[in-house]
Chains A and B, each alone.
Chain A
Amino acid sequence: MTEYALNTPLTDEDISQLHAGDVVFLSGTIYSARDAAHKKLVDLLDAGKELPFKLEGAAIYYVGPSPAPPGRPIGAAGPTTSYRMDSYAPRLYSLGLKASIGKGKRNAETRQAMQDHTAVYFGATGGAGALLSNSIVESNVIAFDELGPEAVREMKVKDFPLLVINDAHGNELYAVPDLKAAGIK
């Protein structure tokens, strides 16, 4: 396990050095997008239109924050479960997305896309929404305001604590459930 401090936009060089289990403190700009926003992003691509942000070197955070109370840039902002974005993720990786941030497992196509396009999947601690919001210093809705919590936000982060779950070399960090130990033959 190695610790890295990385800045966006992320390069192939940044990504290639990472291995499952490494800790990354990410700074710079990241974009929020979850279920409904992903559908809209892919609809834009299908229509040959421009996306609200540049995918090249970008990191997408699967998050739907709670409303910002007075005096804070954002409310609680922990990761949402990532597999729901698997039907869109390979295409976004193929267009230059370098990292997605969420929690939980990814499917085989998404893991393969990370290898094919030198990209990673970071895990953030699920349910630690109050804690993680401390790493987000600025947040502005840049698209799909009508989606409310699911709108696309441009967020400035400082030392956002992440764990490499899937690297660009085909490795995955998650534990494999021991069914035998649990008494299943």
Chain B
Amino acid sequence: MRTIQTHDIIDAVANMCIHSNVELPADVRTKLEEAMANETSPSAKEVLRQLLENADLAQNTKLPLCQDCGLAVLFVEVGEDVRIEGGGLRDAINEGVRKGYDEGFLRKSACDPLTRANTGDGTPAVIHFDFVPGDTLKMSYMAKGGGAENMSRVTMLAPAQGWEGIKEFVINRVAEAGPNPCPPTVIGIGIGGTFEHAAKIAKKSLLRKLDDTHPDPDIAAKEKELEDALNALGIGPMGLGGKTTVLGVKITMEPCHLASLPLAVNVQCHSQRHEEVIL
């Protein structure tokens, strides 16, 4: 058994919230630079130039990249040989979010769904726990903006629709979202599991680096196929036209019920703010 103190968890979460809202991940910056070199349309180039200038400015001034600092989403892998000391794990994570959003001058966007009253401190975070072998605690934070999140969808396809049906749904979803989610976007796709699990694995897909390749060559090929198709839509940066509608497509696939083909499309904005820490 290894003991981890809650104050270390609180500080780690707070630091992730602040850092990822201010610093554009290196893989995203590289993708935006590549996209700018590849675009021929002046408006597409100008949008991408502004996004890179914005990233520099955020880094220098410590202002958040985007005013929408997201709802805090955390994927937490708890080692089975870990004991938390000083309080509850969920409370510690929420305390870290509270601290990070406050000290980082981040916008607190959590509110009551019906009265719309702001909870005032950025909590509660959406937390997904998983238990894994080992004596470490891995926490992955994602700042999930509302504009892009609203463009996401879950659907239950018929098994006969297969890959063609999946492709059609994803392409139509991105086309319909158009300029709304701040393209170029990153598309997380969950295929399989159940209704709620497809959505969860779609979101978890967004934790992957943009420049990685799926270990399964068949899924890697499907990701590339979808990325090319989505970029052929010509929506372009901010919807003004161009070759860059998505920066990447990330698929997670898991077995499902023999009657079902669950599909979730989670749209993420170009900032793709996420970070992980292992304690």
Residues of chain A having any CB pair with chain B under 8 Å:
35-36, 63-69, 72, 75-78, 80-81, 83, 103-105, 123, 125-131, 133-134, 147-150, 163, 173-175, 177-179, 181-184
Secondary structure type dominating chain B contacts: loop
A43 to chain B, nearest CB (A): 13
Q: CA–CA, A183 to B62, complex, Å?
A: 43
Q: Which of A67, A80, A104 contacts B178 (CB 8 A)?
A: A104
A183 touches B47 (CB 8 A): no
Chain A residues closer than 8 Å to B178, beta-carbon distance = 104-105, 174, 177
Chain A residues closer than 8 Å to B171, beta-carbon distance = 179, 182-184
Q: Quick check: is B175 within 8 A (CB to CB) of the other chain?
A: yes
Q: Quick check: is B248 within 8 A (CB to CB) of the other chain?
A: no
Q: CA–CA, A173 to B156, complex, Å?
A: 34
B118 touches A125 (CB 8 A): no
A129 touches B54 (CB 8 A): yes
Chain A residues closer than 8 Å to B68, beta-carbon distance = 64, 78, 80, 129
Q: Mark B122-160, 1 if CB is under 8 A from A, else 0.
A: 000000000000000000000000110010000000000
Most B CB within 10 A of own CB, among A72, A147, A149: A149
Q: Which of B64, B108, B172 contacts A129 (CB 8 A)?
A: B64
Given A69-B62, A105-B180, does the pair A177, B51 have CB atoms closer than 8 Å?
no
Q: CA–CA, A184 to B232, complex, Å?
A: 11
Q: CA–CA, A62 to B172, complex, Å?
A: 27
Instruction: Enumerate B225-272 residues with CB–CB distance to A below 8 Å.
Output: 229-230, 232-236, 238-242, 269-271
Given A69-B105, A105-B178, does the pair A129, B65 have CB atoms closer than 8 Å?
yes
B67 touches A63 (CB 8 A): yes
Q: Quick check: is B73 within 8 A (CB to CB) of the other chain?
A: no
B106 touches A130 (CB 8 A): no
B180 touches A178 (CB 8 A): no
Chain B residues closer than 8 Å to A63, beta-carbon distance = 67
The 25 listed contacts between A and B (C-beta, < 8 Å) are: A68-B105, A72-B63, A75-B63, A80-B68, A81-B147, A103-B180, A104-B147, A123-B238, A125-B51, A127-B54, A127-B65, A127-B269, A128-B53, A129-B63, A129-B66, A129-B67, A129-B68, A130-B66, A148-B108, A149-B67, A175-B235, A175-B241, A177-B178, A182-B171, A182-B175
Besides A67-B107, A72-B61, 7 other A-B contacts (C-beta < 8 A):
A64-B109, A81-B180, A104-B180, A125-B51, A127-B66, A175-B241, A182-B233
A126 touches B269 (CB 8 A): yes
A81 touches B238 (CB 8 A): no
Q: CA–CA, A183 to B116, complex, Å?
A: 41
A127 touches B116 (CB 8 A): no
Given A75-B67, A131-B57, does the pair A126, B182 have CB atoms closer than 8 Å?
yes
B116 touches A36 (CB 8 A): yes
Chain A residues closer than 8 Å to B58, beta-carbon distance = 76, 130
A139 to chain B, nearest CB (A): 12
Q: CA–CA, A127 to B67, complex, Å?
A: 8
Most B CB within 10 A of own CB, among A36, A127, A133: A127
A39 to chain B, nearest CB (A): 8
B108 touches A104 (CB 8 A): no
